[in-house]
Structure 1
């Protein structure tokens, strides 16, 4: 008989998923399954999945390894880049240690130079990401996806067929549909669950190696949330917050906690771990699989794109659909693209959507928790 777990238990399981996957990655490696590690939402997972590889997001969200990274990298560099490099060079990230290849991408200047150093001690495949979403950019990105496929074929002595890629697209799309269904439970007012619990599942699911298992697990969770909501189990009515900006996870979850400890509730995440990475599906009907993948991934609205209308389009939709009362933007110190774009985001939120906005600049230390609480409490009180 299947034991039906309580929601808090399920949320904790997802929260522990990253740690639990440390063992799984070794088991996969022992079975001879190739491991492909990556750092970015632009990484076209389906190409690696098509050859039977396991794909995983690499450690980059803790200040634990930053002092070591700063021996090689400047102190005034984005903490995400320093953390990524620190985990790599100290071998403190099992995912990195067991990866046969790490896929980098030329998203920002700091990252692409850091990958040069990383390539001195690890196989790094660097994908040249265009700076814009014009047709010329699309052509370049499609050619980069094909180049990545050919690299994997040569490195692992395999053939990757278009049918295998199509199968991988279907698997990932199914996972995206289920995760989208999950975060859409937050359209309810009042919200059915805490934003922190929603985040545990969104973040935890990125560390599940068995992608085919995601839809069943997440769908069962959504059904349980909806059932309890219908029975009157829900959160109190609170100001509804959208979180945007730099990638959130690990150390920066302190911002989510500060919002929810001070009377708000995060109903939607526009960041990489949230809607940005799940919102759009790969077109399964496009006869050209490389074009389908290139379009889907290049359309992600990250601040490295110029101009970046897709971020505003997604944010505007989320603000309307989730009845958002205020927007909190998370800016990592020295993340130039997001920091510069924050003026455009503030103008859009204040003027076009007519709601309040606040940006909080932070890093991976816990030193600013008091200040974060003070600023966010004042912001939520104003709402």
Structure 2
């Protein structure tokens, strides 16, 4: 059966283009909006405060020139794009945000948030250096509690335990649903392209009716399960199976995923923050509400953590579950933690699986596309 695209994807094609209008209408209706850049931002607290969380623009090349008027040119493109969007009001989600929730996942972001705080209300969560030490866990809980207090003061509300529990149930159900979606990619042939999988993940940030979004993903998963049963795929059955990991690679900065699939391979899992990293774990509903939220977010296997053993173990597990033929690790230029960790990850996966591994260091421009295509083609050819 020839490769084809699920019909349900037509809806996700329209979700992001409609988002700017939706957030404007919500703002005009009096809804409070909290913008965030990272999966470390505890959305349970935002929902419990009666506000709407929205991811902020950070994956387009066009605003980088504006960002470079203030920031060093050797900063990573994600930070320059984020700041360029912010200072030009070209990101409607930043424009309509009542508060920005930041996090210290890198030194560049810390300084960017310092500059942003001069023209936008902001709370910056200071991350500990590790998710393993008890002292760091205790410290992080105090940061989550401080953020809760800032939200309460900003919006003149009281965030109750009951409200946190209610928000937790909504988000946990969403995480389970996205885990079901990702699991369909274990099939051969894959029922969905990696680019379409990324589009669904990215849409989650811009559909503000969570019940509506859940219904749409349920419909997609049902269609994918039917395709699997019928042996229908988005790519041929003999396509090489690739796991993508590394830095956030949202829409607008998806060139590496596109090049992989244009070369005939299947992206079967997107581990990045823009992919499944945010949906890996649920909040433990048996714990005290704030403690449960704190614990869930701190276990995120981000390269800012040292050591980051969880990412290594997760990738080794994913290689087996998704029957991967290779791993592609993407690093933005100037992202030092992911760049250093790439060598560690390569050696770990070689020891565990002796798997082909390709590290790509790039930026948001298209200038290196031909060079990347050549490297990706050679990488796939090496697999036989």
TM-score interval, normalised by the smaller of the two chains: over 0.9
Match of 1:225 in 2: 224
Distance 1:152 1:123 in 2: 11
Aligned-pair CA distance for 1:16: 3.5
* 2-structure distance, mates of 1:120, 1:18: 29
SS in 2 for 1:61: coil
2:127 match: 129
Aligned residue for 1:361, secondary structure, equals: strand
Contact 1:263 1:377 in 2 (8 A): no
Query: Which whole-Å CA distance do the structure 2 matches of 1:76 and 1:10 have between them?
Result: 41
Deviates further, 205-214 or 19-28: 205-214
Provide the residue aligned with 2:270 in structure 1. Answer: 269
Shift in Å at residue 141 of structure 1?
Answer: 1.2
SS class of match (1:115): helix
Give the drift of 1:252: 2.4
- Which stretches of structure 1, 4 residues or more, deviate above 6 A after TM superposition? none
C-alpha distance in structure 2 between counterparts of 1:46 and 1:283, whole Å: 13
Cα pair 2:61 2:365 within 8 Å, conserved:
yes
| Contact 2:8–2:223 (8 Å) recurs in 1 | no
Contact 2:199 2:251 in 1 (8 A): no
Structure 1 position 11, deviation (Å): 2.1
Q: Secondary structure at the match of 2:281?
A: coil
Deviations 1:149-207 (A, max 9, x none): 11111111111110000000000011111111001101112212211111111111221
Q: Distance in 2 between matches of 1:275 and 1:176?
A: 9
What is the RMSD of the two structures over their aligned residues, measured on CA atoms?
1.3
2:362 paired residue number: 362
Shift of 1:212: 2.7
Provide the C-alpha distance between the structure 2 equivalents of 1:250 and 1:218, rounded to a whole number of angstroms: 18
The residue number in structure 1 matching 2:66 is 68
Deviation at residue 97 of structure 1 after TM alignment: 0.2
Task: Give CA deviations for 1:317-362 in whole Å, capped at 9, x if unaligned.
Answer: 1111000000001110000100011110110122222111001111
Instruction: Indicate if the aligned counterparts of 1:327 and 1:349 stay in contact, CA closer than 8 A.
Output: no
CA contact (8 A) 1:33 1:54 kept: yes
Distance 1:31 1:59 in 2: 23
Asked if 1:174 is matched to 2:212, the reply is: no
**Equivalent runs, 1:111-126 vs 2, <5 Å:** 111-126=109-124
**What number of residue pairs does the alignment pair up?**
377
Q: Is the 8 A contact 1:241 1:325 kept in 2?
A: yes
Alpha-carbon distance between aligned partners in 1 of 2:13 and 2:242, rounded to the nearest angstrom: 21
Match of 2:139 in 1: 140
Shift of 1:17: 2.1
| Contiguous gaps of at least 5 residues in structure 1 | 1-5
Alpha carbons 2:32, 2:51 under 8 Å: kept? yes
Is the Cα–Cα contact under 8 Å of residues 241 and 266 in structure 1 kept in the other structure?
Answer: yes
What's 1:379 paired with? 379
Shift of 1:370: 0.9
8 Å CA contact retained: 2:5, 2:192: no
| Structure-to-structure mapping, 1:165-244, within 5 angstroms | 165-234=164-233, 235-236=235-236, 237-244=238-245
Tell me how far apart the structure 2 counterparts of residues 106 and 66 of structure 1 sit (CA, whole Å). Answer: 21
Q: Any unmatched runs of 5+ in structure 2?
A: none
SS at match of 1:331: strand
* 2:310 equivalent in structure 1: 310
Q: Which residue of 2 aligns with 1:3?
A: none
The 2-side partners of 1:324 and 1:16 are apart by: 31
Please say if residues 125 and 147 of structure 2, whose CA atoms lie closer than 8 Å, have aligned partners that are also in contact. Answer: yes
Give the Å deviation of 1:7.
5.3
**Partner in structure 1 of residue 261 of structure 2:** 260
The separation in 2 between residues aligned to 1:225 and 1:9, in whole angstroms, is 10
Measured after TM superposition, the shift of residue 313 of structure 1 is: 1.8
TM-fit CA distance, 1:8: 4.3
CA deviation map 1:101-141 (0-9, x unaligned): 00111110010011111111111111111111121111111
In the aligned structure 2, how far is the partner of 1:18 from the partner of 1:132?
35
